[in-house]
């Protein structure tokens, strides 16, 4: 195995271990889906989950999901810097996602259902930040940056403030 091929394989394993959708792992690593599916079986002992690859606007369905996605997006930007607007920074994406999983529970306001985003959604968010379909907006009230997407169902305002208002009501 050539070194480059070895690195692609290593990347595939890191992504599949975190449960990323086979079609995206194949897109990233150029390893054929059939080999990836048997890898999934080896790693998780079951067949890969199927399902639709959505867009960021599809992920931001509720305030809680928007808050969760914003936490990930901010961690990703903190890890990768302005490089996220030029390409998908995979190493930073994985580091940010792992940090996100630890933090998500603590940042989500009480009394809200915790909806962690999965690694496939994290990649979709990174892709849409790069293309501009998803973007950051600063909240003048609580001073966090939150995520918005074109055609999103949630109102174009801060999810943290909206959740806090709901919690207080």
Q: Kindly state whether residue 5 participates in binding Zn ion, applying the rule CB under 5 A.
A: no
Least distance CB 74 / Zn ion (angstroms): 13
Q: Are 128 and 77 in contact (CB under 8 A)?
A: no
Q: Which stretch binds Zn ion (CB under 5 A): 21-29, 107-115, 133-141, 148-156?
A: 133-141
Least distance CB 19 / Zn ion (angstroms): 30
Task: Give the residue from 133, 126, 115 showing the smallest Cα distance to 57.
Answer: 133
Which strand (E) or helix (H) includes residue 11? helix 3-17
Residue among 19, 109, 139, 145 that touches Zn ion (CB under 5 A):
139
Q: Kindly state whether residue 142 participates in binding Zn ion, applying the rule CB under 5 A.
A: yes
Report CA-CA distances (Å) from 168 to 8, 78, 109, 164: 49, 30, 11, 6
Q: Kindly state whether residue 115 participates in binding Zn ion, applying the rule CB under 5 A.
A: no
Q: Which stretch binds Zn ion (CB under 5 A): 15-23, 75-83, 117-125, 141-149?
A: 141-149
Q: Are 161 and 142 in contact (CB under 8 A)?
A: yes
Q: Kindly state whether residue 158 participates in binding Zn ion, applying the rule CB under 5 A.
A: yes
């Amino acid at each position: 195995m050539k070194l480059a091929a070895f690195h692609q394989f290593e990347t595939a394993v890191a992504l599949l271990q975190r449960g990323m959708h086979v079609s995206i792992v194949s897109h990233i690593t150029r390893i054929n889906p059939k080999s990836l599916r048997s890898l999934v079986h080896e790693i998780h002992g079951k067949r890969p989950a199927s399902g639709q690859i959505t867009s960021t606007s599809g992920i931001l369905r509720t305030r809680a999901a928007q808050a969760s996605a914003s936490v990930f997006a901010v961690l990703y930007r903190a890890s990768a810097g302005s490089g996220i607007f030029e390409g998908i920074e995979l190493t930073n994406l994985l580091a940010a996602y792992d940090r996100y999983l630890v933090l998500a529970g603590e940042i989500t306001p009480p009394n809200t259902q915790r909806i962690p985003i999965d690694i496939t959604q994290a990649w979709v968010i990174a892709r849409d930040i790069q293309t501009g379909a998803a973007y950051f907006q600063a909240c003048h009230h609580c001073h966090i940056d939150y995520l918005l997407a074109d055609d999103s169902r949630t109102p174009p305002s801060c999810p943290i403030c909206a959740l806090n208002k709901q919690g207080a009501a």
